[in-house]
Amino acid sequence: MSKLFCGSCSSSETMPKVTSDSYGKTKDGQTITRYTLSNSKGISVQILDFGGVITTINVPDKNGKFSDVTLGFDNMQGWEEDTFYFGALVGRYANRIAGGQFTLDGKTYDLCVNNGPNSLHGGKVGFNKKVWKSKIVDDKVVLVYVSPDGEENYPGEVTLTVTYSLDEDNALAIDYQAITTKATPVNFTNHAYFNLGGHNNGGIKDHVVTFHADSFLPLDENTIPTGEVKKVDGSLMDLRKPVRLGDRLDQVGGGTGYDNTFCLNNKGALVLGARVEHPPTGRFLECHTTEPGLHLYTGYYIKDAKGKAGAVYGQFGGLCLEAQHYPDSVHQPSFPDCILRPGQIYTQKTVFKFGVM
């Protein structure tokens, strides 16, 4: 039975803002709660306190037909066994750290190497596999995870609070706030995979993307930024005008598609980073963020993932818009600083806004 929490609702409203129900249990017996955010337009978003994963985003097309436009699973077994980070909150450090090692204040830290020679998305057991403390505050879902000092060999106890909210303009906002007891690199993002044709649409080649970025980060042979911030002019990274993904994916990365960070140079202001359109359904998605980087990943490494309602997700089955600091910033002094120190407060706001063209 769903429980209704509607602290900011008036009695005249007929639709709840937030509900919660029991989703199931983890392998070790922890009960997982599912939260549903909804607005008067019929938009709904479902979130678990396991990994903070976004399980469902239901939005209408140009004919008013609703579809779930994010990839995911139907049950806890799927989420616990997931290797693609579907819908998840990622930390302590999203994206890659070269060589699985960094030196901070004269001390070297060795991390789990789980992506070629690199450490990826927080290591062996990142924030995406943790059970978060959760509650409803007014019309928002608030998740808190306390990462112990030394977890995945990162220094400091980090407390991360993530707040999800959905407004009447069909904008899903994700607000992050973190503190630490010791200096530590941090980089947080949400790793939702979007397919605006519906999660079972089969692919994203019919999607059209626009990135409001003049520069990107070139990569070396291990998918690590070289340290250069390069203009997109004259390259396949120039997405400043609408580009149909099917016209580019075979050319980028030797056919692996996009797995690249674009530089927004927003200096902490909330700006429009990217827009994705799906002409067949008329749906669009805008990503606004305060982060310096917006990483586009087009899902090349998805393979035979058994998803929701019997769907099987394959290569280029969804795309990610990962708002974050630059990858491997801990090794690049010229990149925006990724070190959080005691007494400082890390903040980030990312907004995914849905609509119909």
pLDDT digits 0-9 by tens, 199-254: 999 999 999 999 999 999 999 999 999 999 999 999 999 999 999 999 999 999 99
Mean pLDDT across the stretch 327-340? Answer: 97
Mean predicted lDDT score pLDDT of the chain: 95
pLDDT digits 0-9 by tens, 176-197: 999 999 999 999 999 999 999 9
pLDDT digits 0-9 by tens, 256-296: 999 999 999 898 999 999 999 999 999 999 999 999 999 99
Mean pLDDT across the stretch 131-142? Answer: 97
Q: Which CATH architecture has domain 3-356?
A: Distorted Sandwich (2.70)
Express as a percent the part of the chain with pLDDT over 70: 96
Whole-angstrom distance, CA of residue 34 vs CA of residue 193 = 19
pLDDT for the residue 265: 86
At residue 316, does pLDDT exceed 80?
Answer: yes
- Any known ligand binding at 259? yes
Mean pLDDT across the stretch 87-104? Answer: 98
151, 277, 322, 325: the active-site residue: 322
Task: Indicate the pTM of the whole model.
Answer: 0.94
At residue 15, does pLDDT exceed 90?
Answer: no
SS3 assignment, position 181: coil
pLDDT for the residue 6: 38
- Any known ligand binding at 193? yes
- Any known ligand binding at 192? yes
Instruction: Centre a 10 Å sphere on the Cβ of residue 331 and count the other Cβ atoms it contains.
Output: 17
Whole-angstrom distance, CA of residue 10 vs CA of residue 7 = 9
Annotation says 13 is catalytic: no
**pLDDT level of residue 16 (50, 70, 90 thresholds):** low
Question: Computed from CA positions of residues 299, 262, 354, 89, in that sequence, does the dihedral angle turn out positive or negative?
Answer: positive
Annotation says 322 is catalytic: yes
- Any known ligand binding at 247? no
- Any known ligand binding at 248? no
pLDDT for the residue 9: 40
SS3 assignment, position 49: coil
**For the chain, the helix, strand and coil percentages under 3-state DSSP, each to the nearest 5:** 10, 45, 50
- Any known ligand binding at 244? no
Query: In whole angstroms, what separates CA 108 from the centre of its chain?
Result: 28
CA distances from 171 to 39, 166, 183, 244, 286 (A): 10, 6, 34, 24, 9
121, 191, 278, 295: the active-site residue: 191
